[in-house]
Amino acid sequence: MARSHNFSAGPTALPLSVLEQAHGEFFDFAGSGMSVMEISHRSDLFMELAYRAEQDLRALLHVPTHYQVLFVQGGASLQFAQVPMNLMGTKGSADYLHTGLWSGKAIQVARRFGDVRIAASSQESDFDRIPGAAQWQLNPQAAYLHYTENETVHGVQFAAPPEAGVPLVCDACSSLLSKPIDVAGHGLIYAAAQKNMGAAGLSVVIVDEALLDTALACTPEILNYAHIARARSMLNTPPTFAWYLTGLTLQWLRRRGGIEAIHQTNLAKARVLYACIDGSDGFYRNRVQAPFRSINNVPFALADAALEADFLRRANLRGLKGLKGHASVGGLRASLYNAVTLAAVEALSEFMQDFARQHG
């Protein structure tokens, strides 16, 4: 069976060994004679699966004991509303850093629930960098400061978490588990699973218990973090198969040596691709300022945009998939999530060099 190299921004590649294990257990999970999709989410078998997934995530990220780990339905777009619903209740105001398309969407949604201040923005430079901290205008009375650690569309990433005198909220959808993160330095971290840790339909929320029970009165019980925590993420039927796949991926990460080890691999992948772009004499271009370049998502463009369709066609024939850029910005993009191998990135780089020679 020939496997393609999947550079999609999400859903994206899963580790082959995880897919093989899921395939082997598909009809008979843990000797039950049923698929994991068929067993009750309240059965001992599933509760054991859920407990192990949480413990593996805690171990990988060094999550302090006073933080709750929630496995919830939906993706980042739901969290854009769920965060202000749950955290803005005591202050009625929050600060946001605007560094790309997804932080912009989070801002738009949060404004429905309270006063949202844009503490800093790089929109005037078309999101080619993270605004310098000296430019930020922070409100010391804000309920929280929200930032998007990695912008999947614009390919901009924070080198270090922001410093704030209020709880720090991180949208880590495209970077969680790909690099170290100081959980204790945050009030809340959220991430959808379909980038670095599993399948679409499931998100992880890691939240300091001190921030629970502050939800707005309008918050439905099913979206209330405190209620979800007390029900161990099972207020209703969870996305069981996505949870199962996430658990397998967390085990795979631990076998690979954990976050520190996978981060080194991710850095190596990014170096290969950026070197290819920067060494192409302008044939390919990445417009993000070097200190802020993402190791997770690499957008790039051809100097001659008319060649883009041929690039994608030829890449597809070489088994290099998911390289079309986001519709809002166009161009090309390669996402280098955890399950994308160094060999895959080297194959992409080789193709890009061949394509440039043919058209240069």
Catalytic residue list:
102, 171, 195
For residue 119, how many C-alpha atoms fall within 13 Å in the half-sphere facing its CB? 25
> What is the C-alpha separation between 165 and 169, in angstroms, rounded?
12
CB atoms near residue 44 (< 10 Å): 10
Q: Which tokens belong to 329?
A: 């910005």
Q: How far is CA 175 from the centre of its chain?
A: 4
DSSP type of residue 293: B
> Can you list the positions of beta strands (E) in the chain?
5-6, 67-73, 93-98, 115-121, 145-148, 150-151, 156-157, 168-171, 188-192, 202-208, 284-285, 297-302, 320-321, 332-335
Residue 94, beta-bridge partner list: 116
Query: What gap in Å lies between CA 288 and CA 47, rounded to an integer?
Result: 44
State the residue for tokens 């390289």: 323
306/291 Cα distance (integer angstroms): 30
User: Could you tell me which residues are beta bridge partners of residue 19?
Assistant: none
How far apart are alpha carbons 145 and 164 in whole angstroms?
Answer: 7
Residues near 42 by beta carbon (within 8 Å), at least 6 away in sequence: 234
> What is the C-alpha R_g of the chain?
21
- Residue 39 · residue 46 · CB < 8 Å: yes
Could you give the angle at which helices 44-61 and 240-255 cross, rounded to 10 degrees?
Answer: 40
Residue 129 backbone dihedrals phi, psi, to 5 degrees:
-165, 175
Q: What is the 3-state secondary structure (H, E, C) of 182-223?
A: CHHHCCEEEEECCCCCCCCCEEEEEEEHHHCCCCCCCCCHHH
